[in-house]
Amino acid sequence: MVMADRPEVKTASTPVTALAVLGLAESMLNGLARVPFHRPWSGPGGLLDNVGQSVTRQAVRSFMGYSMGLPIEEFRSMEKILDDICRVVMPPFIEVVDRVEITKDTIGGIDGLWCRAKASSDAYVDEGDDKQTIGATILYLHGGGYIGTSPIMYSAFAASLVRITGYEVFIADYRMAPEFPFPAGVHDAADVYRGLLERGVDPEHLVVAGDSGGGGLATSLITYLHRHDLPAPAAVALFSPEVDLDLNLPSITENAQYDILPWNVPVAPYLQGIQPNDERVSAVYATADPEWFPPTFVCWGADEMFRDGIRKFVENLEAAGVAVHAMEERGMFHVFPILMPWAESSKRVFRALHDLAGGTVTPDPDAEPTH
């Protein structure tokens, strides 16, 4: 369910929405027209990576810059259109590229999407063929700065995680700001987590993952689980997590010209009165303990605005004795594995995830799809 489909969420009229979409197209075309003037062939990688990075950066930056300037009703209506397009395009694409199927489900009262290897499903395995074992379960919290996107928009990346790890992935459709500020998203994530446990998923075979705002939400969930005496998952996987909402470290301004994020990253809609240095929303201020904070994989770009906050977060985990596998990729921007899966930096991340999948989380030999 995209946010626009929730009864509490207001949307714009059809004519206004059409104008917003036209404005977006114009903004992105203007942004892409600037690419040749920024030496797109230069950079830390090969020619294809450098050009792809320049085009991706400008396209996403134009999209985000324009979207952040819209009234929330127009933003939700435009988001609905993009969600509808993804619902048509993504399932067949994922089926062909990754051999992954998408199914809807409601866990703990929260809607979401399952992404599973087709070879693990009885419907796709012929009699006599070996059925692929599901190694573990990933609860994925999608990004979007706590304010936007939807599970189907992240299905391609989730499918990649299925292929890389051999796990099943549930993308939770949690509530977002400004209509539902903190702690609504955390409570939804916790409800899904409890629901998975009630379905028989062993915490030792469960991974919590997320990117950007979803990565920050994943760390908030770990703190929530600790405070409510719930078992921790086996591991956490974070991609450019938004773990410092104070936004006062040097990389916020120093990397603004290189990142895909708008220079004025919005956090007020999510916080709405909560202090940005509250450890419940900014994990960089939390005191972690290996007794309850699980082994953590973190990757981020050296050129992203959140770089310094993530570095500090990783340093804090390491100082506390939490097992951490950290990857900072030179010349890369925010959530690069999602936006540029073909890049060499992304491939290094995927190889690390593949290697860690069997070492951090013990596969469950009796695992079946979590219906």
pLDDT, mean of residues 4-12 = 95
The answer to which of 38-42, 311-315, 350-354, 363-367 has the lowest mean pLDDT is 363-367
How large is the angle between the packed helices 72-98 and 155-165, nearest 10 degrees? 30
| Alpha helices by DSSP H, the chain | 14-33, 47-68, 72-98, 155-165, 184-198, 213-227, 251-254, 268-271, 307-320, 336-339, 344-360
Question: Could you report the per-residue pLDDT of 155-177, keeping only the tens digit for each?
Answer: 999 999 999 999 999 999 999 99
Question: Could you report the per-residue pLDDT of 271-302, keeping only the tens digit for each?
Answer: 998 999 999 999 999 999 999 999 999 999 99
User: Residue 171: how many CB atoms within 10 A of its CB?
Assistant: 28
The per-residue pLDDT for 371 is 58
pLDDT band with cut points at 50, 70 and 90 for residue 126: low
Question: Could you report the per-residue pLDDT of 57-86, keeping only the tens digit for each?
Answer: 889 989 998 998 999 999 999 999 999 999
Question: Could you report the per-residue pLDDT of 89-104, keeping only the tens digit for each?
Answer: 999 999 999 999 999 9
Q: By C-alpha distance, which of 76, 75, 102, 78 is closest to 5?
A: 76
How many whole angstroms separate alpha carbon 323 and alpha carbon 343? Answer: 27
pLDDT, mean of residues 251-280 = 94
Token couple for 308: 């310094």
Instruction: Specify the pairing of strand 206-211 against strand 235-239.
Output: parallel
How many whole angstroms separate alpha carbon 78 and alpha carbon 70? Answer: 10
Say yes or no to pLDDT of 335 above 90.
yes
pLDDT, mean of residues 3-13 = 95
pLDDT band with cut points at 50, 70 and 90 for residue 121: low
Say yes or no to pLDDT of 366 above 60.
no
How many whole angstroms separate alpha carbon 94 and alpha carbon 101? Answer: 7
* 68 or 209, which is more confident: 209
The per-residue pLDDT for 145 is 95
User: Residue 370: how many CB atoms within 10 A of its CB?
Assistant: 18
The per-residue pLDDT for 313 is 98
The per-residue pLDDT for 135 is 85
The per-residue pLDDT for 363 is 57
CA 248 to chain centre: 23
pLDDT band with cut points at 50, 70 and 90 for residue 14: very high
Residues 6+ apart with CB under 8 A from 107: 170, 172, 191, 192, 195, 196, 199
* Bridge partners, 172 (sequence order): 112
